[in-house]
Chain A
Amino acid sequence: MRDRLEHSCQQVIALLTRHTGRPPHPEPAVTRHLQGCPSCAQWKRTLSLALTVFGTAADVEVPPALQHRLEEDIL
């Protein structure tokens, strides 16, 4: 797809792939492309889901015994 959009799908995917995914992509042209291109929008959604699923760190509390022992040992 290229028609009225400034970037090709290939360029958008390349930009999104390089983009690290934390803040929203700053380039308005990319946002406009995503609004008008369902396949690239789907591509971005699967990437976001992958980052949400695999990038979510589930922390647990430090066992009190370990915390207590370290506090004593380091003192």
Chain B
Amino acid sequence: MRVHLTYKNLEREPLEPLLQQLAARLEARVADFPQDAVLLHGTLEKHPSRALYCAALVLRLPRRTLTAQEEHTSAQKTVEKAFVEIERQLKKYKALLRREHLWKRPARREAIRLATKLAAAPLQEAERALFRDLILANLKKLYNFIRREMAYYLTTGELLPGELQIEDVVDGVVLQAAQEFSQRPANLEVSRWLLKLALNYMEAKIRRLKEERAAMVSVEEDIPEPLDELYEFYQPDEDLRLEDVLPDPLAPTPEQVLESRDLQRYINHTLAQLPRPWRNAFVFYYMEGLSLPEVALVTGQTEVEAQHYLEYAREFLRQKIVESDLAMAA
């Protein structure tokens, strides 16, 4: 950090030790930024006729300039107050760069309890009981769908670790379901309707996050990752081979898939290579067990499109089996 201070109408020496101490503290706090891009410019001034001091600090950072101006009857207090203000702004800016407003979800969740919002949802008393029963009956399916979608977005890089929590998405989807419950489509089972809401909610959320990210400056600082089981089977840049992760290629059971995180990772990575419409058709048809007309309703594809996407996805995945050593065992 480069420092440039100007003094007007006052002696420099008495303030020097304090300024050095405060500048050193600030320097430690801007250590994450390229040091040649950080400049602290300050003007310390005594009023010509009164016992009043003024300190103006300008901290130039990459893409952001912070300013503070303080007055006090004590020169030392003036300087201290200006540095405290700059440090406060710096802390806020760094938190923004680290996207703390997004990953500090538990605290936010407490603050915006779903119950409060649900209370405002237009549900009649009888409807509320039905809604509750339907949500709880379909919660496991919804939770696992969201979990798989998040793993997919993490794999494609469209979602960064820590940006979104499964619980937040579940809350958002349940809230939206409550708001639209009376207008839910008659031609779609509730379980399918919830998946459709979740699909659209996730897509919109990812779009917003991308926009926010594009408007954000990046600093070379790690974002803390939450200890979530989702992230345990998300490993970027890995090179998994099916034959290495599937112990019994001829009889993979759901339990086997569940137990093998390596296999889950392999499946995630492979499905993430499919174009999104192909993957959607495949996931809803095979993994979620929807019929072709239901796939079309949920994804917004026509039945003919969904049928074609299924064909393309199947052939792509069959080729993956052919490319693996497991083709010989099949």
Contacts and interface: CB of A to CB of B under 8 A. Distances in A.
Given A61-B140, A62-B140, A49 B258 contact: no
Given A67-B139, A70-B114, A75-B132, A56 B170 contact: no
A34 B127 CA distance: 53
| 9 closest cross-chain pairs (CB), A and B | A55-B286, A73-B115, A58-B258, A58-B257, A57-B287, A50-B317, A45-B330, A74-B132, A59-B144
Interface in A50-73: 50-63, 66-67, 69-73
Interface of B: 113-115, 118, 128, 131-132, 135-136, 139-141, 143-144, 147-148, 167, 170, 174, 178, 229, 242, 246, 249-250, 252-254, 257-258, 263-264, 267, 270-271, 282, 285-288, 292, 307, 310-311, 314-315, 317-318, 320-322, 326-327, 330
B314 A53 contact: no
A31 interface: no
A48 B316 CA distance: 13
A2 interface: no
A1 to B, nearest CB: 19
Of residues A46, A49, A70, which shows the largest number of chain B Cβ atoms within 10 Å of its Cβ? Answer: A49
25 contacts: A17-B311, A17-B314, A20-B285, A45-B330, A46-B322, A47-B318, A47-B321, A48-B330, A50-B318, A50-B321, A54-B267, A54-B317, A55-B286, A56-B254, A57-B144, A58-B257, A58-B258, A59-B140, A60-B143, A60-B144, A62-B139, A70-B114, A70-B170, A73-B118, A74-B131
A52 B252 contact: yes
Contact of A60 (B147, B252, B322): B147
Nearest to A20: B310
A6 B330 CA distance: 26
Of residues A51, A58, A69, A72, which shows the largest number of chain B Cβ atoms within 10 Å of its Cβ? Answer: A58
B139 A70 contact: yes
Interface string A4-21: 000000000000011011
Nearest to A17: B311
A39 interface: no
Contacts of A54: 267, 270-271, 282, 286, 317, 320
Contacts of A75: 132
A61 B264 CA distance: 16
A53 to B, nearest CB: 6
Contacts of A43: 318
A72 B271 CA distance: 36
A74 B135 contact: yes
Contacts of A74: 118, 128, 131-132, 135-136, 174, 178
Of residues A61, A62, A75, which shows the largest number of chain B Cβ atoms within 10 Å of its Cβ? Answer: A62
Contacts of A57: 144, 148, 254, 257, 287-288
